[in-house]
Chains A and B, each alone.
Chain A
Amino acid sequence: MMKPSLVFPALALAISLDLAATSAQAEEPYRFQELRLAEIPSVEAEPDVVWKDQHYDEKGKPRPLPDIERSRLAADWSGLPRPRWTNEKGHAAVVRIRNLYHPDDHQANQWLRYLQSDDTSPIAMACGPDTGEPRGVDTYLLEASRPEGPRYTVLEAWLDGRTCKGLALRRYQAAVKPLAGGLAYAYRTSCARCSAAESATLHVVIPSGFSSSATGGFRYWTYLMEHLELPLGPGTSGSLQAFVEGASIRAWNHVVPKPLPIVNVAELRIETSFAVGEDEPTIVLAIRGLNIPLS
Chain B
Amino acid sequence: MDIDGRVVLATTPVEGAPSQLVVLADGRVVVTLRDSNRVAVLEPASAPERKLALLCEARTPSEPIGLFVAPNESTLFVTSGWGRALTAFASDTLEPRYAVPLPREPRAVYVEPSGRRAFVSHAIGDEISIVDLEDPLHSRRSVDLRRHNGENSSRHTGQGFVLTALVGTNPEHVTRLLAPMVSVDQDAGSVSTETYGSRFLAAAPLVAVVDTTSEALLGRNHFVSGQFRETVCTLPRAAALAGERLLLACLGIDAVLELEARARDPMRFERRRYRVPAGPMGVAAEPGRERAVVWSQFAAAVSVLDLRESAKATPAAEIIVSKDLPPGLGAVEARGRILFHATNDPRISGDGRACASCHIDGREDGITWQTPEGRHQTIMLAGRMNEGAPFGWRGETTTLRHHVGRTMKRLAGRGVFGEADSADLDALIAYLKVMPAPVRVEPDETRRALVTRGRELFADPRQGCATCHPGGGTDRAAYDVARSPYRIPFDTPSLRFVGGTAPYFHDGRYATLGDLLRGVDGTMGHTGSLSDEELRALEAYLEDL
Binding site for B on A (CB under 8 A): 2, 8, 12, 15-16, 29-30, 215, 231, 235-239, 269, 271-279, 282, 284, 286
Residues of B within 8 A of A236 (CB): 218-219
Interface centre among B168, B176, B218 (most CB of A within 10 A): B218
Spot the interface stretch: B29-37, B267-275, B369-377, B433-441: B267-275
CB-based contact B214/A278 at 8 Å = no
Given contacts A30-B271, A215-B264, A286-B260, contact A277 B173 (CB under 8 A): yes
7 contacts between A and B (CB under 8 A): A16-B226, A16-B227, A239-B265, A271-B262, A277-B175, A277-B211, A284-B260
Is there contact, CB below 8 Å, between A275 and B211? yes
Question: CA of A235 to CA of B147 in the docked complex: distance in angstroms?
Answer: 14
Whether the pair A269, B211 counts as a contact (CB closer than 8 A) is no
- Kindly state whether residue B12 has any CB partner on chain A within 8 Å: no
- Which residues of chain A have C-beta atoms less than 8 A from B216's C-beta? 235
> How many angstroms from the CA of A282 to the CA of B213 in the assembled complex?
16
**A276-B211, A278-B175, A279-B169 known; A269+B218 contact, CB < 8 A:** no
- Please state if B227 and A273 are interface contacts (CB–CB under 8 Å): no
CA distance A290 to B219 in the complex (A): 29
Given contacts A238-B264, A271-B260, A275-B214, 9 further A-B pairs with CB under 8 A are A15-B227, A16-B226, A30-B269, A215-B221, A231-B219, A237-B218, A274-B218, A276-B211, A284-B263
Q: How far is the CB of A239 from chain B (nearest CB, A)?
A: 4
Complex-state Cα separation, A215 to B265, whole angstroms? 12
Q: Is the C-beta of B360 less than 8 angstroms from some C-beta in chain A? A: no
The reply to whether A29 and B213 contact each other, CB–CB distance below 8 Å, is no
Which residues of B sit under 8 angstroms from A274, Cβ to Cβ? 218
Residues of B within 8 A of A (CB): 168-169, 173, 175-176, 209, 211-214, 216, 218-219, 221, 223, 225-227, 260, 262-265, 268-269, 271-272, 309
Interface centre among B175, B216, B221, by most chain A C-beta atoms within 10 angstroms, is B175
Q: Tell whether, in the assembled complex, residue B226 and residue A272 are in contact, meaning their CB atoms are under 8 Å apart.
A: no
A8 to B: closest C-beta gap in Å: 8
Known A29-B272, A237-B218, A276-B214: A271·B264 in contact at CB below 8 Å: yes
- Bound together, the chains give a CA A291 to CA B263 distance in angstroms of 22
Whether A239 pairs with B264 at a CB distance below 8 angstroms is yes
* A12-B226 in contact (CB<8A): yes
Query: A30–B221 Cα gap in the complex (Å)?
Result: 25
Tell me if B's interface is mostly helix, strand, loop or mixed.
Answer: loop
The answer to whether B271 and A29 touch across the interface, beta carbons within 8 angstroms, is yes
Assuming the A-B contacts A215-B219, A284-B263, are A271 and B211 also in contact, with contact meaning beta carbons closer than 8 angstroms in the complex? no
Q: Are B269 and A271 neighbours in the complex by a CB distance under 8 Å?
A: yes
Query: Is A239 a contact of B209 with CB atoms below 8 Å?
Result: no
* B263 interface neighbour in A16, A239, A275, A278, Cβ under 8 Å: A239
Q: Complex formed: what's the CA distance from A275 to B209 in Å? A: 9
**A273 touching B209 in the complex, CB below 8 Å, given contacts A239-B263, A282-B262:** yes
A292 to B539, CA, bound (A): 67
Min CB gap A255→B, angstroms? 29
Give Cα A272 to B260, complex, Å.
12
- Which one of A16, A239, A273 lies within 8 Å of B268 (CB-CB)? A239
Q: Which residues of B contact A269 (CB under 8 A)?
A: 269
In angstroms, Cα B265 to Cα A2, docked, is 17
* CB-CB nearest 4 A-B residue pairs: A237-B219, A277-B213, A276-B213, A237-B264
| A284, B269: Cα distance in complex, Å | 11
A278 to B166, CA, bound (A): 12
Partner of B219, one of A12, A16, A273: A273
Alpha-carbon gap, A278 to B176, bound state (A): 9
Contact B168 A272 (CB under 8 A): no
Asked if residues B169 and A273 are in contact (CB atoms below 8 Å), the reply is no
Cβ contact within 8 Å between B175 and A271: no
Known contacts A271-B269, A276-B214, A278-B168; is-contact A238 B262 (Cβ 8 Å): no
Q: Is the CB of A235 within 8 A of B271?
A: no
Closest-CB distance, A35 to chain B (whole angstroms): 11
- Please, which residues of chain A bring their CB within 8 A of the CB of B271? 29-30
**Do the beta carbons of A15 and B226 come within 8 Å of each other?**
yes
Chain A contacts for B176, CB-based, 8 A: 273, 275
Closest to B263 in A: A271
With both beta carbons as reference points, the residue of chain A lying nearest to B215 in the complex is identified as: A276
State the CA gap A241–B212 with chains docked (Å). Answer: 26
Within the assembled complex, what's the spacing in Å between the Cα atoms of A235 and B262? 14
Q: Give the distance in Å from the alpha carbon of A12 to the alpha carbon of B268 in the complex.
A: 14
Q: Could you tell me the distance in whole angstroms from the C-beta of B158 to the nearest C-beta in chain A?
A: 22
Q: Residues of A contacting B173 with CB < 8 Å?
A: 277
Chain A nearest CB from B533 CB (Å) reads: 47
**Distance, CA A15 to CA B268, complexed state (A):** 13
Instruction: Indicate which residue in A8, A29, A279, A284 contacts B262 across the interface (CB closer than 8 Å).
Output: A284
A277 to B221, CA, bound (A): 21
Q: Are B211 and A235 in contact (CB under 8 A)?
A: yes
Q: Which residues of B contact A8 (CB under 8 A)?
A: 223
Q: How far, in whole Å, are A30 and B244 apart by their CA atoms in the complex?
A: 14
- Distance, CA A69 to CA B263, complexed state (A): 47
CA distance A2 to B263 in the complex (A): 18
CA–CA, A238 and B263, complex, Å: 9
A269–B260 CA distance with the chains assembled, in angstroms: 12
Closest to B231 in A: A26
Residues of B within 8 A of A29 (CB): 271-272, 309
Nearest residue in B to A235 (C-beta to C-beta)? B214
Contacts of A284 in B (CB 8 A): 260, 262-263, 269
Residues of B within 8 A of A273 (CB): 176, 209, 218-219, 262-264
Give Cα A274 to B227, complex, Å: 29
How many angstroms between the C-alpha atoms of A239 and B220 in the bound complex?
Answer: 11
Q: A277–B117 Cα gap in the complex (Å)?
A: 15
Alpha-carbon distance between A47 and B540 when the two chains are bound, in angstroms: 59
Residues of chain B contacted by A239 (CB below 8 angstroms): 263-265, 268
Query: How distant is the Cα of A272 from the Cα of B221 in the complex, in angstroms?
Result: 15
**Please, which residues of chain B bring their CB within 8 A of the CB of A272?**
264
Q: Report Cα–Cα, A103/B303, bound state, in Å.
A: 59
A83 CA / B309 CA spacing, docked (Å): 47
- With a CB–CB cut-off of 8 A, which chain B residues contact A238? 219, 264
**Closest Cβ of chain B: how far from A172's Cβ, in Å?**
26
Instruction: Give chain A residues whose Cβ lies under 8 Å from the Cβ of B209.
Output: 237, 273
The interface residues of chain A lying within 8 Å CB-to-CB of B268 are: 239
Q: Which residues of B contact A278 (CB under 8 A)?
A: 168, 175
Say whether A277 contacts B212, CB under 8 Å. Answer: yes
Collect the chain A residues with CB atoms within 8 Å of residue B260's CB: 30, 271, 284, 286
